[in-house]
Amino acid sequence: MFALAASFLIHTAPQAPPPPQAQVAQIARAVPFHLVALPLSAELLGARLEPELDGSLGAHLEYSIEGKRVDIDERLPAAGETPPQNARQLFSLDGYPAVFRPAQSGYNGSDALTWYRPDIIIAVWSPDRADAPLLIDLALDLR
């Protein structure tokens, strides 16, 4: 009787989420673009799919870097989407336009770097106020 009860508990217990690297692999198969991520040496905390307003799927990756949480959101560019041309913080990052927005106007109330590549738009941001050089370095490390 005990074995039957233990078997029932094992089969009905909630499943633990897969490890973060397995989450990234699942997301990479689900999104309609080449998912970029930091090297395996970075501490990946988790990953999830993010539905976009147009019905497409984006990706959200969370890392711990230098004691700060850093989030990376990736999505396909909307039709005709271009970076804001009048942004004071517009600059070229590895040959593609990017915009850095400080916390007062940033993505989710945080410092944010948005990188406008032709195949994907990447937002790198930190609720823990990571500085611009760190966000830029992380964007350049994405593979």
pLDDT digits (tens, 9 = 90+) for 20-29: 999 999 999 9
Span of 1-5, 40-44, 68-72, 89-93 with lowest mean pLDDT: 1-5
* Of 52, 82, 70, 142, residue with least CA distance to 108: 70
pLDDT of 5 strictly over 50: no
Q: Spell out the alpha helix ranges (H) of 20-107.
A: 20-30
φ/ψ of residue 80, rounded to 5: 75, 5
Q: What is the mean pLDDT of residues 102-122?
A: 80
What is the reported pLDDT for 128?
84
Sequence spans of domains, the chain: 17-141
The CATH architecture of the domain made up of 17-141 is 3-Layer(aba) Sandwich (3.40)
Q: Which residue has the tokens 């897969």?
A: 18
What is the reported pLDDT for 85?
81
Higher pLDDT, 17 or 7: 17
pLDDT digits (tens, 9 = 90+) for 15-58: 888 999 999 999 999 999 999 999 999 999 999 999 988 889 99
